[in-house]
Structure 1
Amino acid sequence: MPDYSARLEKALEITADAAAVSLSFFRNDPESEIKADQSPVTLADKATEQSLRDSLQDHFPGEAIFGEEFGRTGEGAAMWIIDPIDGTRSFIAGLPLFGMLLGYLEDAHPKLGVIRMPALGEAYAGGEGLPASCNGTPIRTRACRSLDDARLFVNEGDKLAISEADVFQRLVRAGNLRRLGADCYPHALVARGLADAVVDYDLQPYDYLPVSAVVTAAGGIMTDWQGNPLSMTSDGRTVTAATPELHAELLDLLNRP
């Protein structure tokens, strides 16, 4: 098995440098505009992604890069995938729960990922054959095997309530403890063993592929709503769970007629 430890160490360094860029804009009321998909983008998103791209090109010349703001550059089986500010709405509102996502893929399969929370000073990392960590300390999912005992996050609840109303109603009655959330941080909390599951909706590959590498390294599972492995062509509906038993129970809940 290839050793991705050096790549992961460099990815942590690169995201730490880029975090300083995003924080320089945070709570300074950055200008924003609405993209074609109706999501907001700020100068901070663009500047942060450019910082990440520049560093990746310096340290990994010739490897492809796919980012939310500037699309894909380069070709080949090795590709870095970027979400410079995961949670731009939180960023605009001054909420410190926005993240930064960086993943490395080979043949479109995630091999390592970093979830950095710039305003919280937390960096979650993990990869194939590597342990998951938070700020260098090993982390692991909880051994929660029953939805009745689970700490469940329902992400993008406003979208789910409109587009998947029946599913939303089942989710807000499930679990032992429920929170409505958004973006990458609830998934990081599953990897850390503080939450047990996240149901998410309307994501893009740069939202879920870096996260899935961290969750998997921590002993968890992250798939689409049918239980299929996540890929560049997944439909954006994901489920993260601490254990196989909990994952199976959530899939059953999501797919009831």
Structure 2
Amino acid sequence: MTTDAPEAPFAADLALALELADLADSVSLARFRAVDLDVRTKPDRTPVTEADLAVERALRDRLAIARPDDGVLGEEFGTEGDASRQWIIDPIDGTANFLRGVPVWATLIALAVDGVPVVGVVAMPALGRRWWAARGTGAWTTDAPGTTSDGSVEPRRIAVSQVADLADASLSFQSLAQWRDAGYRDRLLALADRVWRDRAYGDAWSYMLLAEGLLEIVGEFDVKVYDLAALIPVVEEAGGRFTSITGEPGPGHGSSLATNGLLHDRVLDVLR
């Protein structure tokens, strides 16, 4: 007699999140680089496009059918419901890139339970890439067609690097202006002086490069829960560590620091 292994506790939610990502991709790609794309400026002076709004509406409509008892938090339409289970959506993370035709943007989909992100999907359809994770399942990705030596597009498990010395680490910091405005520019430069390489890859992509073991440190300021919630399960299931710049766990502190785990405390010491 054989016994099947028990299903991971959030397997069905992860499957739904991946379905939502398919839906989001179909909506966003249809308007990417459209010559008649409608762009407006929100009260906080950040841009929003018709695609941001359409993606979030589509995902909310699907969740209302698939998970009617769950809450939803989205960048464009706010919070709906107060359940312990909350879906968190950033319809297009990197709207400025999207509206300029730069392919580095993502749809971020997360499920949080009692405020803790347990499922995360990061879809970057203009690059042909996707990353996902749920608690206890590991972190996974698919490569863009034609970018692997064997032509495979099968899911592969990913893990952070084992770099244990700051002098060998690669750092992604978003933008100097962001760190300057937060009063941390000098500390960022001190960290950059300690590492092997520094670059500003930008937005969700930096965290996914970290989860794949391609760099070791990512930090930024002026970030909201919907900017970070989907990233946390992927980074942590890949073996990394994710806190605020001052070391608090979770996505709700206005800043983020993700590392391969081995370097986290040393980076916090430099930034203090």
TM over 0.5: yes
Aligned-CA RMSD value: 1.5
Amino acid paired to 2:268: L
Q: How many residues align?
A: 252
Structure 2 alignment gaps of length 5 or more: 1-6, 143-154
Separation of aligned partners in 1, 2:112 and 2:70: 10
Listed as ranges, the matches of 1:43-192 within 5 Å are 43-135=50-142, 136-164=155-183, 165-192=185-212
Q: Relative to structure 1, is the Cα distance of residues 174 and 55 closer, same or farther in structure 2, using a 3 angstrom cutoff?
A: farther
The 8 Å contact of residues 146 and 249 in structure 1, kept in 2 or not, is answered as: no
Amino acid paired to 1:64: G
The 8 Å contact of residues 156 and 181 in structure 1, kept in 2 or not, is answered as: no
Separation of aligned partners in 1, 2:39 and 2:180: 26
Structure 1 alignment gaps of length 5 or more: none
Separation of aligned partners in 1, 2:66 and 2:218: 34
Amino acid paired to 2:271: L
Separation of aligned partners in 1, 2:134 and 2:176: 29
2:257 counterpart SS class: strand
Partner residue, 1:213: 233
The 8 Å contact of residues 178 and 220 in structure 2, kept in 1 or not, is answered as: no
Q: Relative to structure 1, is the Cα distance of residues 183 and 55 closer, same or farther in structure 2, using a 3 angstrom cutoff?
A: same
The 8 Å contact of residues 8 and 137 in structure 2, kept in 1 or not, is answered as: no
Partner residue, 2:25: 19
Separation of aligned partners in 2, 1:157 and 1:132: 30
TM-score by length of 2: 0.88
Alpha-carbon shift at residue 158 of structure 1 (Å) = 2.2
The 8 Å contact of residues 141 and 157 in structure 2, kept in 1 or not, is answered as: yes
Separation of aligned partners in 2, 1:36 and 1:146: 43
Partner residue, 2:145: none
In the alignment, does 2:203 pair up with 1:195?
no
In the alignment, does 2:254 pair up with 1:254?
no
Which structure: larger Rg?
2
1:116 counterpart SS class: strand
2:249 counterpart SS class: coil
The 8 Å contact of residues 108 and 123 in structure 2, kept in 1 or not, is answered as: yes
Alpha-carbon shift at residue 112 of structure 1 (Å) = 0.9
Separation of aligned partners in 2, 1:155 and 1:93: 18
Give CA-to-partner distance per residue, 1:65-101, whole Å, 9 cap, x none.
0000000112210100000000001111111110110
Give CA-to-partner distance per residue, 1:19-45, whole Å, 9 cap, x none.
111111111142212212221111010
TM-score by length of 1: 0.93
